Structure 1
Amino acid sequence: MRLGSKVRDQPRLSTQELDALENMCDLQSLSDTTYCYCDHLTRDDATISNCWVYGDTRPNSTLWDTFHHQKRLHRLTVNLRGDGSLDFVPSRILSYTPQLWMFEIKNANITRVVSEAFTESESVAELRLTSNGIVRLEKHAFNSLTNLTRLNLGKNKITALGRHVFKNLPKLKLLFMDRNEIAKIRSGAFVGLDVLQVLELYDNRLDHLSHGTFRGLKRLERLDLHRNLIESIEDRTFSTLPSLRELDLEGNRIKYISEKGFSGLKNLMRLNLHDNKLLSILPGTFVETPELFFLDLRQNVLDTLEEKTFSPIMDNLKNITMYLFVRASWPFSSRHPCSF
């Protein structure tokens, strides 16, 4: 089912017709499909609402127009119960809630977010779309959410990220796409997210990263890629991330890291390579990571590590705040003040 586009094509009710509708916080005739719990029942007094859908709903239902009576809503959650059906984004709600800043839909049976699905609102700062069965995000899916700072798409079934999905999101700082089925990210998929600081991509199916995968994320500080299927880190994979401070690669299948694999990460402080398949680490691997203070190499298949491999961060190893985790049987385990 396409989300949002058909809803906006429906004819609008007149002011008189809207005023005659029930208050969404006190539904009577529509209570067989939906019920909303609000912090205040009277018209235009509610600021928080938690709605449950347990019947078959339609995009053109007058149910969504009942939100006309609660223009001061700040937080809205729409939940799908097991015996209900919600395979679209009820975007008509957004045209009646100009002060809404947190909008959440969860446990619905949505499969696709189409272009311009959320153009009815510029007030939303946080959008949560977890556990909805979303498979595909189309170009400009979140267009015009110009005040959005946090977007959560976790626990869906997204398989790929194309270009222009995240266009016109000038304030987005936090993006969560963990626990999906993402196997491919097109080069330039994140271009335009100029202020993004956190990107969560753990528990996906990524097996390859290219130089252009993270292009455009010049202010990104944390990148979580743990529990993917990555087998190697090639030249300059992360070189477009000059602000990155934390990189989590735990639980992948990494066997090889190019000497220039971490090129450009001059501000990197934490690197987690725990539980991979590393056989060796080349001497120049940490040349361009002078600020590295946390390095976890446990649960790999490393036989030996040369001291010159760590020479670029040797001064950090002498710092009381430095943590280097390796096998306790290695000579490094006696080096103070590291932890092993």
Structure 2
Amino acid sequence: MKTLNMNLVIKYLLLTLALTSVQISYTESRLSEKRRDKTDRRHHSVKVMDNLCEIANRESKVHCYCESTEVNTATRADCWVFNGGINESDPIWASFNSQQNLERLTFNVRSDGALTFIPLLVIQRLKRLQKLYIHYATLNKIEKRTFTNMTTVKEITLTNNKITELDFYSFTALPSLVNLTIKENKITEVQRDVFVDLPSLRYLDLSFNNINLAHDGCFEHLSVLNDLQLEANLIAVLTRDTFRGLANLTRLDLRSNKLSMIGDLTFTELWNLNELLLDNNELKYLSERAFDGLALLEKLSMTGNQLQSINEGLLEGVRGLKLLDLRNNQLETLSLDTVKPIIENLKDKMSVLYLSGNKFNCDCRLSWIQSLQNETRSEPVRLALRGVTCTFAKQANLHHQLKLNTNDDTLDKVEDVFEVATSSDLLQQNYEESYEDNPLYKFDRTEKPVTDELVLVDISVESLPCPGETLLKSEDSLMLSAKDESYWLQSSSTRNNLNHAIGLALIVISKFYLNF
């Protein structure tokens, strides 16, 4: 009996255990199913709502376009900020977690004030980011250490962002940064210690700002910088210390600033400079030693300034020049002594020399230009020298004196000689004769205004007076006759017409004064 009861108890216990096991298994199954549902919903949510490259919400303030839309596969994202009022806590920034492998990130802001800060929390989480571009935001000031400890970033471009100030250490501890562009903003000055610990930076662009002051030593930490762009600012003063520390700089662009003078040794720290651009400033004075120390300089451009003269020793420090551009200044002369340090360079076939658009006086100090045009192997130099013009300033003075001291008949005779010799029809005919056999040349028959400028290389060297000399000695004038006048007027050469016209005028002047 006891054995029977014991068996019943055991069977009951076994049944109870079996039922309990079934219940546990069922419960675990339900829990597992719930976990799977939750996981599936989470993944589905990331794909539809949180993937940076597939933002479906039309109300989103940011939309990004990627070359690949799968999670963590995109390497490039171009993001457009359409609506204003976005802040650093906006949920849109969380979507950047879906693309952790971005190497290039661009923000293009479509309306003023739509983006007023740099989304650093997003940028700093992108451990592979190499290039960052932000355009048309409203950033105003780049705060201290805004860009720091981004070890992979090689290029940062901030254009048209209304930046007015760069704080100390704005850009620091960026070991891979090579290119930094902060152009077309409203920066007014460059302080010291803005760019610090940038051991790889080779290109810095601060052009098209409002910079009127570059503090001494403001670039001194950029020891490997090659190219510095300061074009289109308001810089009026440069000192020797402005460019301190830039021993490896090879190109310096200072075009379209407010420079009126350059003093001694201004660029002496730039031992490796190869190209210096000073176009479209207000330069009136260059110290004789302004370019000393630039032994490797090959290109010097100063077109569009107000230079009236060049010191004879100016080019001594830049004997390696192969390109010199002095167009559109107010130079009255340029002597051989001035260009002598580089004259042999200008004969090389790769050299360039621009001098047109100045106010040169036709005198013997420019005779070297004619010699160089014949001797140079550079086609650009030959063509450029053909465009150099000059005027006979002293002759103009004599003509003015005649008006005061002689009668109308004598003055009319002088004017008639010039009118005949410089007749536009005659000059055109003679010029066409020189090129009529050249099928590539078409003569321009458009009427041009009459000026007193002459093409320098078309004037014979003998006709170029030297300063301080008498233009025509009285004894020489007695040897010229009316027969000579007839011969000069019948000449078919343009050069002879011009030279003879000058000679005839001087004959009349001389005869008048001898008789007087």
TM-score norm. by structure 1 comes to 0.91
- Alignment partner, residue 152 of structure 2: 123
- Alignment partner, residue 32 of structure 1: 60
Aligned with 1:49: secondary structure? strand
Deviation at 1:146, TM superposition (A): 1.4
> Is 1:208 paired with 2:237?
yes
- Alignment partner, residue 235 of structure 1: 264
Instruction: Check whether the contact 1:25–1:36 (CA below 8 A) recurs between aligned residues.
Output: yes
* Counterpart AA for 2:216: S
Q: 1:325 aligns with which of 354, 361, 364?
A: 354
Aligned with 1:295: secondary structure? strand
Of stretches 154-163 and 111-120 in structure 1, the one that deviates more from structure 2 is: 111-120
* Counterpart AA for 2:75: T
Aligned with 1:63: secondary structure? helix
Q: 2: distance between equivalents of 1:144 and 1:63?
A: 29
Aligned with 1:309: secondary structure? helix
Aligned with 2:172: secondary structure? coil
Q: 2: distance between equivalents of 1:275 and 1:332?
A: 23
- Alignment partner, residue 164 of structure 1: 193
Deviation at 1:87, TM superposition (A): 0.9
Q: 1:54 aligns with which of 73, 78, 82?
A: 82
Residue by residue over 1:288-312, the C-alpha shift from the partner in whole angstroms, topping out at 9 and shown as x without a partner, is 1111000011111111112111121
Instruction: Check whether the contact 1:127–1:150 (CA below 8 A) recurs between aligned residues.
Output: yes
Deviation at 1:324, TM superposition (A): 1.4
Deviation at 1:59, TM superposition (A): 2.1
- Alignment partner, residue 255 of structure 1: 284
Instruction: Check whether the contact 2:295–2:317 (CA below 8 A) recurs between aligned residues.
Output: yes
Deviation at 1:267, TM superposition (A): 0.3
Deviation at 1:63, TM superposition (A): 2.4
Instruction: Check whether the contact 2:172–2:196 (CA below 8 A) recurs between aligned residues.
Output: yes
Q: 1:41 aligns with which of 61, 69, 76?
A: 69
Higher relative contact order (CA 8 A, sep 6+): 1
* Counterpart AA for 1:327: S
Instruction: Check whether the contact 2:112–2:138 (CA below 8 A) recurs between aligned residues.
Output: no
Instruction: Check whether the contact 1:273–1:296 (CA below 8 A) recurs between aligned residues.
Output: yes
Aligned with 2:147: secondary structure? coil
Residue by residue over 1:225-251, the C-alpha shift from the partner in whole angstroms, topping out at 9 and shown as x without a partner, is 111110001111100100100000000
Instruction: Check whether the contact 1:92–1:120 (CA below 8 A) recurs between aligned residues.
Output: no
Residues 133 and 332 (structure 1 numbering): CA distance in 2 closer, same or farther, change over 3 Å? farther
Instruction: Check whether the contact 2:235–2:257 (CA below 8 A) recurs between aligned residues.
Output: yes
Cα RMSD for the two superposed structures? 1.9
Unaligned runs of 5+ in 2: 1-41, 361-365, 385-516
Q: 1: distance between equivalents of 2:93 and 2:180?
A: 23
Instruction: Check whether the contact 1:261–1:285 (CA below 8 A) recurs between aligned residues.
Output: yes
Unaligned runs of 5+ in 1: 1-16
Residues 84 and 34 (structure 1 numbering): CA distance in 2 closer, same or farther, change over 3 Å? farther
Aligned with 1:288: secondary structure? helix
> Is 1:198 paired with 2:227?
yes
> Is 1:139 paired with 2:164?
no
* Counterpart AA for 1:132: N
- Alignment partner, residue 179 of structure 1: 208
Instruction: Check whether the contact 1:80–1:108 (CA below 8 A) recurs between aligned residues.
Output: yes
Instruction: Check whether the contact 2:185–2:208 (CA below 8 A) recurs between aligned residues.
Output: yes
Aligned with 2:348: secondary structure? coil
The structure with the larger Rg is 2
Q: 1: distance between equivalents of 2:369 and 2:329?
A: 16
Of stretches 139-148 and 262-271 in structure 1, the one that deviates more from structure 2 is: 139-148
Write 1 or 2 for the structure with the bigger share of helix.
2
Q: Percent identity?
A: 35
Aligned with 1:76: secondary structure? strand
* Counterpart AA for 2:214: I
Q: 1: distance between equivalents of 2:368 and 2:188?
A: 42
Runs of 4+ in structure 1 over 6 Å off: none
- Alignment partner, residue 314 of structure 1: 343
Q: 2: distance between equivalents of 1:158 and 1:294?
A: 32
Residue by residue over 1:183-229, the C-alpha shift from the partner in whole angstroms, topping out at 9 and shown as x without a partner, is 00000000111111111111111111111111111110110111111
Aligned with 2:315: secondary structure? coil
Deviation at 1:332, TM superposition (A): 4.4
Instruction: Check whether the contact 1:115–1:143 (CA below 8 A) recurs between aligned residues.
Output: no
Instruction: Give the length in aligned residue pairs.
Output: 324
* Counterpart AA for 2:302: L
Q: 2: distance between equivalents of 1:274 and 1:196?
A: 26
